[in-house]
């Protein structure tokens, strides 16, 4: 299967914890990578691999996976975390890459 499914929208109160999920068969074989995109800007990698953050990404961002699902967790969400978040992975064939439909995070 070459689909990754994300909830279209999620909201979180300032300072609280939020989990954004991504589901797809390929996640049983490949870790998801996660990207944050703010309006008018290019995506930024926030999580890759089992649970790795690029330099400069706050440690409130973390990743996990189980079965056919991957999650991005923001512990203590900040106003600046309001953005669209996309997961990405290879599909099960290993020869093409798929993005999830994206989740719009609103910080209340």
Q: Is 64 in the site for another protein (CB under 8 A)?
A: no
Whether 18 contacts 12, CB under 8 Å: yes
Out of 7, 10, 25, 48, the only residue in the binding site for another protein (CB under 8 A) is: 48
- Looking at the Cβ atoms of 67 and 79, the one nearer to another protein is 67
Annotate each residue in 12-41 with x if it binds another protein (CB under 8 A) or - if it does not, as one string: -----------------xxx-x-x-x---x
One of 11, 14, 16, 54 touching another protein (CB under 8 A): 54
> What's the closest the beta carbon of residue 56 comes to another protein, in angstroms?
11
DSSP string of 53-107, one letter each residue: --TT--TTEEEEEETTEEEEEESS--GGG-EEEEEEEE-TTSS-EEE---EEEEE
| Interaction of residue 63 with another protein, rule CB under 8 A | no
In 46-87, alpha helices (H): none
Cβ pair 61, 46 in contact under 8 A: yes
Pick from 67, 63, 107, 54: nearest CA to 87:
63
Provide the binding-site residues for another protein, judged by CB under 8 A.
29-31, 33, 35, 37, 41-45, 48-50, 54, 84, 86, 88-90, 95-102
């Amino acid at each position: 299967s070459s689909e990754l499914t994300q909830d279209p929208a999620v909201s979180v109160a300032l300072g609280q914890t939020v989990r954004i999920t991504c589901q797809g068969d390929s996640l049983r074989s490949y870790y998801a990578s996660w990207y944050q995109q703010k309006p008018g800007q290019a995506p930024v990698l926030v999580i890759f691999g089992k649970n790795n953050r690029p330099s400069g990404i706050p440690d409130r961002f973390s990743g996990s996976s189980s079965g056919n699902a991957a999650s991005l967790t923001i512990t203590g969400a900040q106003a600046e975390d309001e953005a669209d978040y996309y997961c990405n992975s290879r599909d099960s064939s290993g020869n093409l890459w798929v993005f999830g439909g994206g989740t719009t995070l609103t910080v209340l």
